[in-house]
Amino acid sequence: MPSPSPARSLALIALVAAAILVLPATALAGSGGIGPAGSDDTPTTTVAGERAKLLRSGLAAAPDGAPAAVQRAIAAANRIDDAGYCTGGGHGNWSSRCYDCSGAVSYVLGPKGADILKRPRDSSGFARWGERGRGKWISVYTNPGHAMVVIAGLRFDTSVPDDGMDGPGWSKDVKAGLVNGPFVKRHFLGL
């Protein structure tokens, strides 16, 4: 059997090297380097302490001192960050190409996130969910026209995310989300 030409061998080596360099970047594309977009097991970057941190990418890093449900909620929010806004989005099922405010909160708290919500809810439905008041880790703010969630100190909703994009997104400014108030505050027992 004849041996391959040196040019063909170099081309094959270059192709293999390019595949090795390109594959990891492709696997992380669209997610700010946090994990594969749309994957239910998105790994989450963590930071020390009990407060989440907004990253330059617009995604959030979970506090390493947070319970697993909180870290899963942050990973879920990162997956749908910038998914786009549409009325009723996220209510027909747990996954959607776009989300409204309560659909985004439902996704984050549902089985693909914190797993503390059995079915998607609209903003009025969140007024009867869980326990009254703010939670230590996760607080839902709701009224008949809007819902948002604060997770480990960062706000996640569809109004005024820090990146200026339409649709769900993170913000450090919890008070800016209160312009849609007054709100009822709810939390899941223990969180």
The pLDDT tens digits of the residues spanning 139-165 come to 999 999 999 999 999 999 998 666 667
Nearest to 142 by CA among 87, 98, 104, 171: 104
28 domain residue, yes or no: no
CA distance 1 to 160: 66
22 domain residue, yes or no: no
Residue 118 identity (one-letter amino acid): K
7 domain residue, yes or no: no
Q: How many domains does the chain have?
A: 1
27 domain residue, yes or no: no
What CATH number is given to the structural domain containing 155?
A: 3.90.1720
23 domain residue, yes or no: no
- Say yes or no to pLDDT of 114 above 60: yes
31 domain residue, yes or no: no
The pLDDT tens digits of the residues spanning 62-89 come to 999 999 999 999 999 999 998 999 999 9
Helix extents (H) in 58-183: 68-80, 101-109, 174-177
pTM greater than the 0.85 cutoff:
no
Residue 53 belongs to what domain range? Answer: 36-187
Q: CB of 177 within 8 A of CB of 159? A: yes
24 domain residue, yes or no: no
The pLDDT tens digits of the residues spanning 20-76 come to 333 333 233 333 333 333 445 555 689 999 999 999 999 999 999 999 999 999 999
- ∠ CA(86), CA(90), CA(93), 5° rounding? 140
4 domain residue, yes or no: no
